[in-house]
Amino acid sequence: MYYRRHKREIHLILFFVVLKLVLHFLANSRFGFHRDELLYIALGQHPDWGYMEVPPFIAGISRLSQVIFGDSVFAFRILPSLAGAMIVFLVGLMVLVLNGKRPAITIACLAATFSPAFLASGYLLQPVVFDQLFWTAAAFLVMIYIATHKTRYIHILGVVAGIGMMNKYTMAAFLLALFLGILATPQRKFLWNRHWLIAAGIGLLIFLPNLVWQFRNDLPVIRHLSQLKQTQLDYIQPQDFLIQSFVVHGTIGLIAVAGLIYILLSKRSGRFRFIGISFILIMALMLWLQGKVYYAFGAFPMLFAAGGMAFQYGARLFSGRFIGASAALVVAPCLVFLPVVIPILPINATLGFFGLAKSAGLTFPLKWEDQRMHATTQDYGDMFGWQEMADYSVLAYEQIPEHERDRATVIADNYGQAGALDHLGNSRLPKTVCLNSSFALWAPDTIHTQHLVYVDHDISDLEPLFKEVKLIGVVTDPLAREKGTKVFLLSYPVKDINSLYRLAKQEGR
């Protein structure tokens, strides 16, 4: 086997894999579910070949997590954490393909382990970390094929490409960048064989069910991307995208920069120069598409591997101590800010840390989309208040006379609220109706109700339509992004609620 002669190096790589897992496992049970996790848990309860925002892979991961590990916050974060650790493993293997030694492995794996961007995105139940994994795996498979000429790696690439497309459509962009990067170098000679067509066929076959689903449902991905562009992507500036793409990695961004320079200019890396070209191409493509910064995270692991080689070369030029000093200088600042990106500390200690950071002038992590300063980060803010909301909803439902509960409907304004009620309502609530996000796919065509448990900030337009309106509770958690969300019980409509509901569903609210 290709790596039999690298047992010591593999052991070093596995050390960093375990370190990555320990970091996340220490943090994963703190705080609550993230808003987006609640959506993906809901997708897992409605298996299909596609959804409004994403292909079906994350729904399968969600369902698998629940069946194997249970319903807890920690349980749903096990598989994402394993995916993050697998990225570290692949980075180490990339270094071996580049003929790197233990110093290069150390730098590269430290980068993949402690990059703030990869820590923050590497534990939540979201498609992001799996997207990063599939991009990294694709780059590694191309590298090892060029190093060994063994065609089985191309076939495995087809499998990875197909599964990656079933996770996020951004996989197609990275595959295109890889292909064009190879085409721009002498390694293009490796493209001219039938095994690439076989790999393409494998990938297409895996991806075909979602492709069919998209066409049968009038391409909801187009509508979703259009909405995303109007509400978020149009506000992304090219210079901000480029700067933030490196800044989000903290001082570890220096390793990525060193890796890009090394892979493009070093004679030792000649046959792998396509990595640097592919990176430039994917960044250019994301700029053109006005993608979010995290869309391109998956392109950085291959630069971390090349960065390890750059630092190893620096150690030869200067001294053996160069690696230790470099690792300390580059990684230490990222360690200081661990509580910003993963909930490694209890909430009170985390708030104390943010207080110190704020007093020192470090305020940008605490600024939310509303452009206001808060006590914690927006990601953490999206993890609080859900249980309080679900408890109020259960209380509202239990105030409905038992013989009338079969004519009751629970409605939530957004997917986070709906996911919280369905997952945290302790099975005491009927399934929540929501017209936001993928919840609209399984929302009923009609509702016939005498009572509404309604979750929203304001229902002034609905109050005149019911004889009785009660405010049951308000989310008061000061850390919650949903602070101020109200739970109402509206009973005995005086107008046809069903016609209003159908109109709202047609309008895509």
Give residue-wise pLDDT tens across range 42-53.
999 999 999 988
Q: State whether residue 400 is helix, strand or coil.
A: coil
Q: State whether residue 427 is helix, strand or coil.
A: coil
**Residue 148: DSSP 8-state:** H
Q: What amino acid is encoded at 340 in this protein?
A: V
The owner of tokens 């008061």 is 476
122: Cα within 13 Å, side-chain hemisphere? 32
Q: What is the mean pLDDT of residues 217-246?
A: 66
Give residue-wise pLDDT tens across range 395-412.
999 999 999 999 999 999
Q: Is the confidence at residue 321, as pLDDT, over 80?
A: no
Q: State whether residue 493 is helix, strand or coil.
A: strand
Instruction: Please tell me the distance from the alpha carbon of residue 329 to that of residue 309, in angstroms, as a whole number.
Output: 17
User: What pLDDT sits at residue 322?
Assistant: 65
CB 80 within 8 Å of CB 124: yes
Is residue 234 very low, low, confident or very high in pLDDT (cuts 50, 70, 90)? very low
Q: How far is CA 204 from CA 115, 132, 166, in A?
A: 33, 20, 10
Q: Would you state the structure tokens that stand for residue 284, as one six-digit string?
A: 């250019």
Q: What is the DSSP string of 151-182?
A: THHHHHHHHHHHHHHTT-THHHHHHHHHHHHH
Q: Would you state the structure tokens that stand for residue 423, as one six-digit string?
A: 């997952």
For the chain, how many residues are written?
509
Computed over every residue of the chain, the mean pLDDT equals: 89
The owner of tokens 């105030």 is 399
503 versus 439: which is more confidently predicted?
A: 439
Q: What amino acid is encoded at 98 in this protein?
A: L
Q: Is the confidence at residue 232, as pLDDT, over 60?
A: no
Q: Is residue 372 exposed (0-12), middle (13-18) or buried (19+ Cβ within 10 Å)?
A: exposed
Give residue-wise pLDDT tens across range 50-81.
998 899 999 999 999 999 999 999 999 999 99
Q: Is residue 278 exposed (0-12), middle (13-18) or buried (19+ Cβ within 10 Å)?
A: buried
CB 432 within 8 Å of CB 472: no
Q: Would you state the structure tokens that stand for residue 211, as one six-digit string?
A: 């492709």
